[in-house]
Amino acid sequence: MLNFNAPSNFKKGRLIASRFRIIDIVIGAIGIAVSIVLVNILIGMKLRMPWLLIAIIPAVIAVVLICPAGEYHNILVFLQVVIKFYTKERKYIWEGVYKDGTEKE
């Protein structure tokens, strides 16, 4: 068994604020910005609360996507792995003995 020692901040050096990739910050910023704009527009139109709740959905989705997810970096990475798993071509390499019953042993 091989053992490798890695410093505790091994991957944190490549992340912003030891937690986010650049794409995570972009997704979060866009989601929150869209929600702020929608809320400001809807407040100006004096609409009721259900519309304001709908307006914050982009921010909620963005925050959920960049939340940590156990072994994966975050939910976004988990979804990318799942999509790649189901869409890539699988190649199965046969290893073993084939017996068709016609050959005498």
Helix (H, G, I), strand (E, B) or coil at 16: strand
Q: 89-100: per-residue pLDDT in tens? A: 877 777 776 666
Residue 100 burial class via C-beta count within 10 angstroms: exposed 0-12, middle 13-18, buried 19 and up: exposed
Terminal Cα-to-Cα distance of the chain (whole angstroms)? 40
Which segment of 7-11, 26-30, 74-78 scores lowest on mean pLDDT?
7-11
Q: 47-59: per-residue pLDDT in tens? A: 778 888 889 999 9
Q: 15-70: per-residue pLDDT in tens? A: 777 778 888 899 999 999 999 999 998 888 887 788 888 899 999 999 999 988 87
pLDDT for the residue numbered 57: 94
At residue 105 the predicted structure's pLDDT band, cuts being 50, 70 and 90, is low
